[in-house]
Amino acid sequence: MKLRVLARLVQIQRVLVRHGLDEFVRETHLYRPLRFVFLLSPWTWFERRKGNSRAERLRLALEELGPIFIKFGQALSTRRDLLPPDIAAELAKLQDRVPPFDGAVAKHIIETAYGKPLDSVFAKFSTAPLAAASIAQVHVATLHSGEEVIVKVLRPGMREIIQRDLTVMHELARLARNNSAEARRLRIDEIVDEYEKTILDELDLMREAANASQLRRNFAGSDLLHVPEVYWDHCRVDVMVMERIRGVTISDMDTLRAVGANIPLLAESGVKIFFTQVFRHNFFHADMHPGNIFVLIDNPARPRYAAVDFGIVGTLDLRDQHYLAENFLAVFDRNYRRVAELHVESGWVPPDTRVDEMESAIRTVLEPIFNKPLKDISFGTILLRLFDISRRFDMRIQPQLILLQKTLLNIEGLGRDLHPELDIWQTAAPILREWMRDRLSPRAQLRQFRDHLPALVEVAQALPPLMKVAVQRLQDGTLHIGAQPEDIERLREEIRASERRRSKTSIASMLGLGGLLWLGLGLDPPWLTTVLIIASAVFYWRSRRH
C-alpha cells in the first residue's frame, strides 16, 4: 500500500477516534493493527470531543474528512427511514451548512479567473457567502446591467484533496476485490471508477453551466421545473454565474404550509420531474438532495420546483433505458415473470438463471408493497431484500445505474417529507406508459428513419461498386465465402497433431512419476527406475518435436 494512502487511512481513523466514534474503528478490520495506538495515545484522549451528541460528532467528523465524506453524509441524510431521527436531522445540515471559506479568498480566485478587478465585472459583490457546499460556495452579486446573480466559486485546493481521497478509495476497492467474493460480485472497483468520473466532473464549473443550460432547455415552457439562466460571458472553470433563485427550500415545511402551498401537488410533481428527465429527456439532475431544491410560491396553488447545483447529471444507455422502463412497467403490472426475463435478457444476471425461480423470489419481495401509500413503503428495505436475492442469483450491480438509484432514493426521501400519502407507483405509471407508446408510435419510427437517412444513403451509394466486384469474382471463380475445404483439413490436422502431443506429454509424465515412485519406495530391480526416467525423457522430447 502506498505511503500516501496509508497516511490518509491513519488520518481517517484519527478523526473518527477524536470525535468519539470508536465503534466505527472497532468495526473496521483494516485498522485493527493500528487502532490501539490511537485508543491508548494520550494526545488522542486530550483532543477527544465528548461534549457533543452522537449525531453532531458524526457530522463534524464527516466535515473534517472532506468533500467525498460530506457527499456521503448528504446522501444518507435523505434516508430518514433507515437512520435514527437525530442522525438524519444532523446530517441534513451537510446539505447547505458546510463551513465556508474566507470571502477574501473567493474574491482572489474570481479575479484570477477573470484576469481583472472584481468591480469591473460586478456592480456589487457580497464577500459573505450565501451558502457553502462541499465542493464550492456561492456569493450574491449584481451585474453592471442590473441583474442579480449568484457567483459559484470552487473551493481552493479542491482538486488535490479529491485526487488524494480517490486514490484511497481505489486502494480500498482493490483490497476489497482481492479479498472478498462479494466485492467482486458488486464490481466495487467499477463503482469507484464511475464515482471518480462523477466527482471530477463537479470540479469543472463550465461543465456544470452546460448541464444547467441543457436542463433549462429541456424544461422550457414547463410548469414543473424552473432552471436558472446561465450568464456564459462570466463563466470560467473555477467560477460560474447564474440567475439568482428566490424561493423556499424544500425542507422548510413550516413556510410552505404557512403560505398555503399545494403540498400533494408538489410531491406528485417531484415524481413526474424524475421520470420525465430519465425517460423522456434521458438527462437527469442526479444530486437532488433538499439543499439543491427550492419551491417558487408566487402561486401557492400551483407551486413550482427550482433546481440549483448541476454538477452531477446522469444519462442512460438506450438499451438500459428501454430495459429499465420495461422493468418498471412489468412491476406496475405485477408481471414478475417478465421482470425476471428482462434481467436475463439485459445481462444483469447470468444467462443460465432459472427464470421461474427468480420470478418467485421477485414476487416475494414486490407483492407486499402494492396498493400502499408511500409512507408504508420503504425502498431501503426493498433494496436490502433484493440485495439478498441478487446474491442468490449472482446478479451483478450495474455501475451505470448507480446515479439513477441514488436519485431515486433522493426522490423517495423528498416525497416522504412532503406528502407521506403519495403513491409513487400510481404517479409514475402513466408517464412510463405514455413514453413507451410514443417510442413505438409511427411518428417516432419515422423520426428514427429520418435521423438514420444520411447513413442509409451513404451505404446505398457504396453498395453498387461492391456488388459489381462480387459478381465479377463469382464469375471468375475467385469469390470464396466462409471456410474452404483445404482450410478445414488444415485445421483438422492441427487438432490431431495437438492431441498427439498431449498424449505423448501425458505418457512422459506418467513414466517419470512411476520412476520416481519406484526409486522412493526402494523396489527391485533398481535399474527399472533409470529405464522409466529415460523413457519419460524420450516421450517428452518427441512431444516437443512433433
Three-state DSSP state, 373: coil
Distance CA 160, CA 245 (A): 31
Distance CA 490, CA 485 (A): 9
Distance CA 4, CA 9 (A): 9
Q: Characterize the bridge pairing of strands 293-296 and 248-249.
A: antiparallel
Q: What angle do CA 279, 135, 216 make, to 5 degrees?
A: 35
Distance CA 161, CA 167 (A): 10
From 96, 165, 189, 287, active-site residue: 287
Q: Which helix (H) or strand (E) holds 59?
A: helix 54-65
Measured between its terminal Cα atoms, the distance across the chain in Å is 47
Three-state DSSP state, 355: helix
Please give the backbone phi and psi of residue 124, each rounded to the nearest 5 degrees, phi first: -140, 145
Determine how many CB atoms are found less than 10 A away from the CB of residue 180: 12
The count of residues in the chain is 546
Site of grid cell 518427441: 542
Distance CA 454, CA 439 (A): 21
Is residue 287 part of the annotated active site? The answer reads yes
Q: What are the grid coordinates assigned to 30, written together?
A: 483494516
By C-alpha distance, which of 415, 454, 69 is closest to 253?
415
Q: Name 336's bridge partners.
A: none
Q: What are the grid coordinates assigned to 187, written together?
A: 464490481
The answer to whether residues 412 and 379 touch, using CB atoms and an 8 Å cutoff, is: yes
Three-state DSSP state, 187: coil
User: Measuring CA to CA, how many Å separate 314 from each of 19, 318, 400, 467?
Assistant: 35, 13, 9, 44
* Catalytically active residues, by annotation: 287
